[in-house]
Amino acid sequence: MVGQKKVNISGGVGFTETLNLGIRYQVFNKSQIGLSIGTWPSSNDWLFDWKSLISLSGDFFYHLGDSSEFSTLPPWYIRIGLDYIIIDWDDEGSSIDNNLEFHLRFGRDFYFSEDLGVSLDAGVAFFLINETGFNSVLPSLGLSLFFRF
C-alpha cells in the first residue's frame, strides 16, 4: 500500500462544468472537496452562438468501499455539487444569463499509478436558477484526467 496523497489537480470535460481545470483536496478519511473553472468555445452556429461561457463548480466527494492498489482512498464515490454557469450572448454584455445547477453523480477513479488516474461519473442535474431555458432536469456527466500529489 502506498502513502496517502491528498491533492488532485485535474483537467476534464463534463456537462455542465464544461472543459475545465480543477483541484480536489482530501478533507477526511474518505471525503474530498473540489473546485473547478471551465469554459466552452462558441462555434457560432445555432446551438453554440454565445460570445463567452464560464462555469464555476464546487463539489463534495464521498468515497465508498475499500482502498485500491495505488491509493488508500477508495475508488468509488458519490459526488454532490453546484455549477454556476454564466453565458454572455453578445459583445456588449447586455444579454447575460446566469444559471445555477445542483448535481448528484456516482463515479469511479481509475488509477494508472500512484500519481495518475482518470475519473468518470454520471448522474442527474437539477437547475435551481435557469435563465437560459434549459430543461429543468438533465443528465450530468464528467470525465477527467488527474494528477495526485
Q: pLDDT tens digit string along 47-83?
A: 667 778 899 999 999 999 888 888 888 999 999 999 9
SS3 assignment, position 42 = coil
The pTM of this model reads 0.89
Predicted local confidence at residue 47, as pLDDT: 60
* Cell numbers at 54, concatenated: 464560464
Separation between Cα atoms, residue 112 and residue 118, nearest integer Å: 8
Q: Which regions in the chain score pLDDT beneath 50? A: 1-2
Q: 452562438: which residue's cell?
A: 49
- The architecture that CATH gives domain 7-148 is Beta Barrel (2.40)
Separation between Cα atoms, residue 48 and residue 122, nearest integer Å: 23
The answer to whether residues 101 and 127 touch, using CB atoms and an 8 Å cutoff, is: yes
